[in-house]
Amino acid sequence: MRNLLGEFIVELRAAGLPVSMSEHVDAARALTAIDISDRDMVKACLAATLVKNGDHMPVFSTAFDVYFSNRHASGADLGEMNEESSNADETKGDDPNATGMRGSGRSRGMGGGGGSSMSAEELAEMLFKAMQSNDLNSMRSGAREAVDRYAGMEPGRPVGGTYYLYRTLRNLDLDTLMDRLIAAGTKADADGLEERLVKDEAKAKVEALKAAIEAEIRERLVDDRGAEALGKSVRKPLPEDIDVMHANRDEMAQLERALKPLSRKLATRLARRRRKRRRGPIDLRSTVRRSLSTGGVPIDLRFKPPHPAKPEIVVIADISGSVASFARFTLHMVHAISSQFSKVRSFVFVDGLDEVTHLFEESDDPAEAVARINSEADVIAFDGHSDYGRALLVFHEKYASTINKRTAVLILGDARNNYHQAHAEVLADLKFRARNVYWLNPEPTSYWNSGDSVIREYAPYCDKVVECRSLRQLEAFVGDLA
Amino acid sequence: MSSIDPRQELADRLGLAEVPPARFENVAEVIERLRQNDYLSDEAIASVTFLADRLAKPVLVEGPAGTGKTALAKAVADAVGARLIRLQCYEGLDESKALYEWNYRKQLLRIQAGRSESSAEDWSALEEDIFAEEFLLTRPLLEAISATEPVVLLIDEIDRVELETEALLLEILSEYQVSIPELGTVKAKQIPMVFLTSNNTRELSEALKRRCLYLYVGYPDVERERDIIISRVPGISTALAEQIARVVRSLRNLDLKKAPSVSETLDWARTLVLLGREEIGEADAVATLHILLKYQADLEKATKELVGRGKALA
């Protein structure tokens, strides 16, 4: 058990969770206080001692499923918890012995589901019944059956299981299943509200089935390749470490979710720092009041809260193709903490430039404003390929007079100029007028200046050019700005 | 591995005559005893509570507002029959309000009273005298440490204090003692259970997190929420409770500014009971949704999504 725990913690650290030495010791101690044959208890125990941030829970869960799989080789340590699953096997008429089950499952999977005891219709019916009656056990065995039939798992292939999941789900036809659940749950006289509730319920059940299938696939992969190897392929980065430019749809959703709390925390921190940073003038009234407790001697001086000047921010963001999501996140974050700045103005461009400040002013939800940018901003002047030079020229012509010594100019983009003219002299003039010019580049530093990237021509006129690929880097930068 | 009992070890360090008995036998007992005090826990909550007792470690409870973090500490205090000592955190909280403070006025009086017979040799005696426990005002943390009867210490909304102030807590959380420079170290006379709650408005320091067990309390699932409603709202029918729980789940799935909390759900349930409803129709839902949702934008969105097209607020 101790070895297993050690390996598990190595995996957690590799996934980015900060697990300290003393937390490791705590976890080991906690395990001695509980009944380690109870898998849920072990999980709760490790979660309580090793994970100290709610956002890290999904990463922990994945790793836990891999390392403390129901059918893990060290299952001897974890005792009798296979009982439940093998009971379910028996009802299916399969070999109750877990190992035998595994073998047959795999060979059957490779044979394309030929040896299964159920037809596709029977399986669909069984899943439907299980989900309708909320029967977790038969849902799990249904998931097992589905993986047997459809996943077509091949031993030894170094994959994380997404492909198998996709194959299983495609064959299961979950949409029909959901429709059936909805139809069965809806009463004849249901109103709109009731219909909606039934729909949400069906959705939740289908999600649960997906999770069960995913867990099943993962367990088989662990059997096949061992925890360590699999841990590496299913490891997911923490939301704040996801590379914004290359995020897939799931990761994008994760990023969206992470953004709001992150911005809120940042705003709180900045507001506090602002209040703490410098002391204002002496508050005479409060000082005299306090001095009463020391016999009228003002030992304890009180100060008025400070009112330091807030910077103005101008954001100029490239919203063409590849860097669009990065621009959206940055705009969202800057506006979410706009109370920390005296003024925020935002401009977006591709090869034309448009101001979008009003979108943020009209709505009190930055996410909504960001969504409107795509449809409402007029940013395409010619062919729709980014042209940094032209965008800067237009900006300079129209808005240069609004830039002053309190303004920080923030330019977002990869500086891939499609071989247009760079017009770096414009940036030089902006730099002369502004307090600071910063460039946030969502590309890794090693790609800068390759191909049509002209960041080197702009760099001399920026106070700082920052690589900014993840929310963590973005937050750090924006935090320093305010 | 020779198993070391953390409670035994802590008791030795604190110099307690005997190791206080564990409060719970097993997780099932935690669930049961919390339920008797009208707190419906789940596996995770009960496990962590159990561990906190066994390992003699504080628990950091995090999660959205109104999911029963503070209520958990109260319920545990009731369940184990301990006194609840609560420290409400806020910005600007300092050690004179959290730990202890010297009672200046009383000290001043003592000095003045002693002035008549004062001489040089008396000073050291006097100094010893005015920094005695008699002149100490105990604040919640010191009170929890020096209590002789069983206590549960609740440090509420720890995320509201500044990062530097967190450091005040570290000694208590890991050693169960308070060092007072003039007086020496005050060690705990029993092993208190400690709960810290946080709404996660800022990142807490690593040092603090490391010393605590962590518990994330999210929104309950439909079944648990239904049971919570039944246990906390007298006179509600199971069918109505279930329907309420389902509506609330649908609301939480919408992308709202502020999802309805459990306490708001309970308010809504009470309202519907007062109105004498047996089930929620669309009209009732629209008319009472403002109990669950506190932003106009959220209200509009929820009305549109749940009830469907074009039904304006009456």
Question: In chain A, what is the straight-line distance between the N-terminal and C-terminal CA atoms, in Å?
Answer: 48
A9: left (phi over 0), alpha (psi -120 to 50) or beta: alpha
Could you give phi then psi for residue A61, rounded to 5 degrees? -60, -45
The pLDDT of residue A91 is: 39
The mean of the pLDDT values for chain B is: 86
A183 pLDDT above the threshold of 70: yes
3-state secondary structure B225-262: HHHHHHHHCCCCCHHHHHHHHHHHHHHHHCCCCCCCCH
Q: Does B225 touch chain A (CB under 8 A)?
A: no
A194 Cα to chain B: minimum distance (Å) = 8
Query: Which of A375, A440, A449, A376 is CA-nearest to residue A413?
Result: A440
A93 pLDDT above the threshold of 50: no
Residues of chain B contacting A26 with CB distance shorter than 8 Å: 55, 57, 213
> A409 near A381, Cβ under 8 Å?
no
The pLDDT of residue A89 is: 40
**Residue B121 pLDDT level (bands cut at 50, 70, 90):** low
The pLDDT of residue A274 is: 65
Give pLDDT tens digits for B125-145.
Answer: 777 777 888 888 888 999 998
Query: Which of A339, A345, A318, A353 is CA-nearest to residue A441?
Result: A318
Cα–Cα distance for residue pair B111/A102, rounded to 1 Å: 83
Residue type (1 letter), B141: L
**Residue A407 pLDDT level (bands cut at 50, 70, 90):** confident
Give B6-93+139-216's CATH code, choosing from 3.40.50.300, 3.90.1010.10, 3.40.47.10, 3.40.630.30: 3.40.50.300
Residue A129 neighbours by CB under 8 Å, 6+ apart: A135, A138
Percent of chain A exceeding pLDDT 90 equals 3
Lowest mean pLDDT among A109-123, A200-214, A457-471, B300-314: A109-123
Question: Which regions of B113-261 does DSSP assign to beta strands (E)?
Answer: 136-138, 151-156, 177-180, 184-187, 193-198, 213-216
A41 Cα to chain B: minimum distance (Å) = 7
Q: Does B246 touch chain A (CB under 8 A)?
A: yes
Reading the block at residue A147, the tokens are: 């993986």
Lowest mean pLDDT among A217-226, B26-35, B98-107, B260-269: A217-226
- Cα atoms in the Cβ-side hemisphere of radius 13 Å centred on A218: 24
Calculate Rg over the CA atoms of chain A.
Answer: 29
Residue A371 neighbours by CB under 8 Å, 6+ apart: none
A236: left (phi over 0), alpha (psi -120 to 50) or beta: beta
Q: A17, A20, A29: which to substitute to probe chain B, counting the most B Cβ within 10 Å?
A: A29
Instruction: Break chain B into its structural domains and give their ranges.
Output: 6-93+139-216, 100-138, 222-306
Provide the H-helix boundaries in A363-417: 366-376, 388-399
> B192 near B149, Cβ under 8 Å?
no
Mean pLDDT of A70-86: 43
B246·A264 Cβ contact <8 A? no
A418 Cα to chain B: minimum distance (Å) = 38
The pLDDT of residue B310 is: 44
Mean pLDDT of B268-289: 86
* Residue with more model confidence, A128 or A31: A31
Residue type (1 letter), A86: S
Percent of chain A exceeding pLDDT 70 equals 86
For chain B, the residue count is: 314
Residues of chain B contacting A261 with CB distance shorter than 8 Å: 200
Q: Taking each helix axis from N to C terminus, what angle separates A162-172 and A192-225, rounded to the nearest 10 degrees? A: 140
A20 Cα to chain B: minimum distance (Å) = 8
B201·A41 Cβ contact <8 A? no
Q: A20, A46, A189, A193: which to substitute to probe chain B, counting the most B Cβ within 10 Å?
A: A193
Q: Taking each helix axis from N to C terminus, what angle separates A39-50 and A57-67, rounded to the nearest 10 degrees? A: 140
Query: Which of B1, B191, B208 is CA-nearest to residue B89?
Result: B208
Cα–Cα distance for residue pair A156/B232, rounded to 1 Å: 54
Q: What is the reported pTM?
A: 0.77
Provide the H-helix boundaries in A20-132: 21-33, 39-50, 57-67, 75-78, 82-91, 98-110, 120-132
The pLDDT of residue A80 is: 38
**Residue A269 pLDDT level (bands cut at 50, 70, 90):** confident
* Residue with more model confidence, A89 or A233: A233
A388 pLDDT above the threshold of 80: yes
Give pLDDT tens digits for B199-247.
Answer: 888 888 888 999 999 999 989 988 899 999 998 898 889 989 998 998 8
Q: Does B203 touch chain A (CB under 8 A)?
A: yes
Placement of tokens 């409107």 in the chain: A372
* Residue with more model confidence, A255 or B219: B219
B206·A20 Cβ contact <8 A? yes
A110 pLDDT above the threshold of 70: no
Reading the block at residue A297, the tokens are: 């001697």
Mean pLDDT of B287-302: 87
B166 Cα to chain A: minimum distance (Å) = 15
Placement of tokens 């953004």 in the chain: A259
Q: Beta-carbon neighbour count of residue A169 at 10 Å? A: 18
Nearest residue of chain A to residue B254 (CA atoms):
A200
B53 pLDDT above the threshold of 60: yes
Nearest residue of chain A to residue B105 (CA atoms):
A293
Give pLDDT tens digits for A25-37.
Answer: 999 988 888 888 8
Mean pLDDT of A116-134: 76
Cα–Cα distance for residue pair A164/A182, rounded to 1 Å: 27
The pLDDT of residue A108 is: 38
Q: Does B213 touch chain A (CB under 8 A)?
A: yes
Cα–Cα distance for residue pair A444/A326, rounded to 1 Å: 13
A136 pLDDT above the threshold of 60: yes
Q: Which of A45, A276, A295 sits opposite B47 (nearest CB)?
A: A45
